[in-house]
Amino acid sequence: MIRIAVLVSGGGTNLQALIDYEKAGNNPHGKISLVLASNNKAYALERARQADIPTAVVRRKDYESQEAFDHAVTVTLQENRIDLVILAGFLSILGPEVIQAYPERIINVHPSLIPSFCGKGFYGLKVHEAALAKGVKVSGATVHFVNEIPDGGRILLQKAVEVKDGDTPEILQKRIMEEAEWVLLPQAMKQLSEALDQEENI
């Protein structure tokens, strides 16, 4: 059974999609074994508690340097014997130590069709503001592996979502979450859990 950590910073709607998917029995090869938050007030922690999932908080501001923060995240993941890491609205950048500890085992969901509207500075509503300003007719979401370049890792899954006349960044954000992010992230969790489980059983 692949042990999964979900890293969060806020409300945890993507986390909830993963919890619901697992609860429905759709991820037989994996189990969400830890929810790690970068913010002790994140509502995602409450979602985890309601689902009886262990939690941890590692705040960037509690550490003198990015390296010290990275080390604390890595140690927490390793202490919990984590095999797969899912970033679900995690607003802190992960550094080399974490990435090297989990090569091609960290995935992130980004609210656009990479390579559009991605990279440093593109997060949350900023992505949708940029898409609307450009006048695109289609946006969507991408699940990709995490490497040292923001949004630069290999793409795993993508799903397109129509941009409609009159969309605001908030409306587009909600549609992409509902139609793409909450669909893709659980699919990616299942796909990688199965692949890693088979790899470990060879």
Active-site positions?
Answer: 110
Alpha-carbon radius of gyration of the chain = 16
Taking each continuous run of H as one helix and of E as one strand, the counts in the chain are 7, 7
CA atoms within 13 A of residue 118's CA, in its CB half-sphere: 22
Cβ atoms within 10 Å of 43's Cβ, excluding its own? 16
Q: φ, ψ for residue 100 (rounded to 5)?
A: -70, -25
Cβ atoms within 10 Å of 105's Cβ, excluding its own? 19
Distance CA 57, CA 76 (A): 9
Of 108, 89, 113, 88, residue with least CA distance to 163: 113
Distance CA 125, CA 143 (A): 18
